[in-house]
Amino acid sequence: MNTVDPIRDPEKIREIKEKLRATNSRDYLLFTMGINLALRASDLLNLKVGDVFDEKGNVVRYLWVKEKKTGKQKKLFINSVVEDALLFHFRNKKIMRDNFLFTAKRSGEQLDRQALWELIKKWTKSVDLKGRYGTHSLRKTWGYMVRVVHHKDLPQIMEKLGHSNQEITKRYIGITQEEINELEREVCI
């Protein structure tokens, strides 16, 4: 199995979001939800409009997802960035609660993993990111940013991602040999 990278540069994330917001509200929402909710691609693509909007058309505070891989029920907080992206995408659109949140433009069918993979490759290429990117990159980006930018503990990240041990989480979020060597250079006891 080939591994993919998280997006490690906050500036590149900002660039992708700006480009998508200006050109494609569905893709902007997809990217924003992907990096903020840290769901697996299959769970992200299975979301329905009714999962994120209540009967009155308001964005829900918490999203309940039954993970396809584990069968576990997860309660996810809809943060202000995701809420804004939802409202931006659905402005001037009728909320059809039974529809998939992410659909293909031509067919109107549920977006699939292959299409998501192609979109992520296109988005990362558009901002000149080097590396291997795929459907897990969005989920990995959340873990990486939480650890590096927000300085949160590995056990919290491990719990959010549903990993059974810290070694899996360290590999998953891409702790690199360069980071370890930098730490060794910085810490002189």
User: What one-character-per-residue DSSP string does 55-122 give?
Assistant: TTSPBPSEEEEE-TTT--EEEEE--HHHHHHHHHHHTTS---TTSBSSB-TTT-SBP-HHHHHHHHHH
Which residue numbers are catalytic? 40, 69, 136, 139, 163, 172
Residue 1 reports pLDDT greater than 60:
no
Q: What is the pTM of this model?
A: 0.86
Tell me the CATH number for domain 10-186.
1.10.443.10
Render pLDDT for 163-186 as a digit per residue (tens, 0 to 9): 778 777 777 777 666 777 777 788
Per-residue pLDDT, 148: 80
Which of 24-28, 75-79, 140-144 shows the lowest mean pLDDT across its residues?
140-144
Element (H, E) at 37: helix 25-37
Computed over every residue of the chain, the mean pLDDT equals: 90
User: Do residues 29 and 88 touch, judged by C-beta distance below 8 A?
Assistant: yes
Per-residue pLDDT, 180: 72
What band does 2 get if pLDDT is binned at 50, 70 and 90?
low
